[in-house]
A = this chain, B = another copy of it.
Amino acid sequence: MKGVDHLAHERNKTEFDVDAMKIAWAGSRHAFELSDRMARLVASDPAFQKDGRTRLGRKELFKNTLRKAAHAWKRILELRLTEEEAGWLRNFVDEPSFTDLHWGMFIPAIKGQGTDEQQQKWLPLAYKMQIIGCYAQTELGHGSNVQGLETTATFDPETDEFVIHSPTLTSSKWWPGGLGKVSTHAIVYARLITNGQEHGVHGFIVQLRSLDDHMPLPGITIGDIGMKFGNGAYNTMDNGVLTFDHIRIPRNQMLMRVLQVTREGKCVQSNVPRQLIYGTMVFVRQTIVADASTALSRAVCIATRYSAVRRQFGSQDGGMETQVIDYKTQQSRLFPLLASAYAFRFVGEWLKWLYTDVTQRLQANDFSTLPEAHACTAGLKSLTTTATADAIEECRKLCGGHGYLCASGLPELFAVYAPACTYEGDNVVLLLQVARFLMKTVSQLGSGKKPVGTTAYLGRVQDLLQCCCDVQTAEDWLKPSVVLEAFEARSARMCVARAQNLSKFENPEDGFAELSADLVEAAVAHCQLIVVSKFIDKLQQDIPGKGVNQQLQNLCYIYALNLLHKYRGDFLSTGCITPKQASLANDQLRSLYSQVIFQ
């Protein structure tokens, strides 16, 4: 193998403008240059080296991360990096740390839910890292069901304080990153109780540790919840457990932007719309989808390079063996993942637009598109993170035995990515939310209420229930309208069939529970349609660079036709396509694999 640069050989085959493709991926020249500059900064700094991380015991590993976080902070200050630059820098340091929660959850929570006075008091301390915060929501016994949290915040009118308390074992705060060893403060979510009445779950700023000796304050018990999946991965993070024994905080440490508690303990709704919180949710999920495409692209990059270098079998006359990338079995597993990385990239880009759109509407008190935007982002978060976690593991397998070595990078990539399927909404729970929204949309079709946004196609449900796919040759599958209609028809028909089955139940909730697994399938079909349609939309835009659009078109069809093949049971059982047409799609897919070019 010595002396043969297999990657150079593959790269010489490239027929598209590689720099233009990089910019298409990044979204803009500015975004590309910024991330590239930060990547080089981190790569060239020995203090950020990752070698040997996986060999360390937990204590050394954690110290190592503290060291890097401190060094990153020093560099950010020295180089006067912008917040955007600093974010990229932390991203390339590539180790979960308490700073992620401080910058990513603690500060945004104060910004989003705090009053102006609260922001003026707390943000400067947080920006200078004079206090370090975490985000204490989940409890040992409570995750998805936020309304089930047990921690209480009881207003004491005598002292003008809230009493924060953990009444049970299951009410222990559990998971907050940064809590176990580092944080001085937390945003604690608790059931608000004033005058003996409950007022739902709200956020409170609570100091946890002394700013002098860093010891937990009296009445506060903190621990580290122990080892997590993978060698390094989230073991660089001090996810913690926390209980309160009647801890008192001043009234003005409840985040009161939306709901205020007066000196007398009365609850007063502010004129800030509660829906604002959904805007934040759209924002967070948009970043999760973008992160999915990044994580997936890293795994695919490793597996693709390995597949070009690795040779096995097929040697003739004692010559070199066949590159494994030339095997159709390898291609049919790898190339759809490459296509998914781009698909998720572009749907993430579209979600940025959606967030801007939602924000503008909220500012104009227009909440009409919010439920659709909420369902859409929930579904895309679920779809992209599940697919990415599975894809990273598939990439690991595509590297054979070598993928099992940490040296391949893939075991850590998987272990660090896996929680994305659970945090910010368990992926199955999210799909059930999407399904609920779809069933509601279908039930309102007769009432003249027009479905909007990503559900607009359901307005054409009569056509979609009757349409016939007219594919007759494999090439017919290369028409965007044909692909789109097949995906729309499949989703619409699955939704309608589920709605009909639901209507057979006397109690709709019983029906929803009984048929929930089927409803999840319909939600997946709908979400896949969104990704396919946004990919197709993207290709209608002018994408500069020789051959770039052509390559992206190949990937778009690979993404769609691979889904069509994998889920052909849906398409066939709803009569959207015939077995013959499914077989032609599969033929076309094979032919597309031959046209994929790397760099």
Which A residues have a C-beta under 8 Å from some C-beta of B? Answer: 1-2, 54-60, 138, 141-145, 148, 168-170, 175, 225-231, 234-235, 310-313, 315, 321, 327-329, 331-333, 393, 396-397, 400-401, 404-407, 411, 414-415, 418-419, 421-423, 426, 428, 432, 513-518, 520, 566-569, 572-575, 579, 582-583, 586, 590
Contact = CB atoms under 8 A, between A and B. Distances in A.
Contacts of A59: 55
Given A169-B2, A400-B426, A56 B57 contact: yes
Nearest to A593: B517
Given A55-B227, A517-B329, A572-B572, A418 B404 contact: yes
Contact of A517 (B311, B332, B574): B332
By CB atoms of chain B within 10 A, which of A58, A229, A426, A579 has the most?
A229
5 contacts: A142-B312, A148-B312, A226-B406, A229-B406, A401-B422
A201 B389 CA distance: 39
A315 B144 CA distance: 13
Contacts of A418: 396, 404
B419 A1 contact: no
Nearest to A566: B569
Given A1-B168, A141-B310, 13 more contacts: A1-B169, A1-B170, A55-B58, A148-B312, A229-B404, A331-B517, A332-B517, A404-B422, A514-B590, A518-B586, A566-B569, A568-B569, A572-B573
A401 B312 contact: no
A329 B515 CA distance: 9
Contacts of A513: 327-328
Contacts of A400: 143-144, 422, 426
B573 A406 contact: no
Contact of A572 (B401, B415, B579): B579
A103 B222 CA distance: 46
Contact of A143 (B142, B230, B328, B401): B401
B225 A328 contact: no
Contacts of A583: 573
Nearest to A321: B148
A517 B321 contact: no
A463 to B, nearest CB: 21
A278 to B, nearest CB: 20
A394 B230 CA distance: 16
Shortest beta-carbon contacts, A-B, top 9: A57-B57, A568-B569, A569-B569, A229-B411, A332-B517, A573-B579, A227-B406, A54-B227, A572-B572
Contacts of A321: 145, 148
Interface centre among A231, A406, A426, A428 (most CB of B within 10 A): A231
A411 B228 contact: yes
Nearest to A568: B569
A327 B315 CA distance: 53
A319 to B, nearest CB: 11
B56 A141 contact: no
Contact of A144 (B144, B313, B432, B572): B313
A506 to B, nearest CB: 17
B2 A168 contact: yes
Contacts of A574: 579
A457 to B, nearest CB: 22
Contacts of A422: 397, 400-401, 404
A563 to B, nearest CB: 12
A417 to B, nearest CB: 11
B329 A428 contact: yes
A315 B148 contact: yes
A55 B235 CA distance: 9
Contacts of A168: 1-2
A519 to B, nearest CB: 9
Contacts of A566: 569
Nearest to A2: B169
Residue of A230, A332, A393 with highest tally of chain B CB at under 10 A: A230
A323 to B, nearest CB: 12
Nearest to A428: B329
B582 A569 contact: yes
A142 B2 CA distance: 15
Contacts of A421: 397
Contacts of A579: 572-575
A535 to B, nearest CB: 22
B329 A520 contact: yes
Contacts of A515: 328
A90 B104 CA distance: 46
A189 to B, nearest CB: 16
A422 B58 CA distance: 29
A423 B168 CA distance: 47
A175 B402 CA distance: 9
B582 A145 contact: no
Contacts of A396: 229, 418
A514 B1 contact: no
Nearest to A144: B312
Contacts of A401: 138, 143, 175, 419, 422-423
A480 B235 CA distance: 49
A54 B231 CA distance: 8
A590 B514 CA distance: 8
A261 to B, nearest CB: 23
Contacts of A148: 312-313, 315, 321
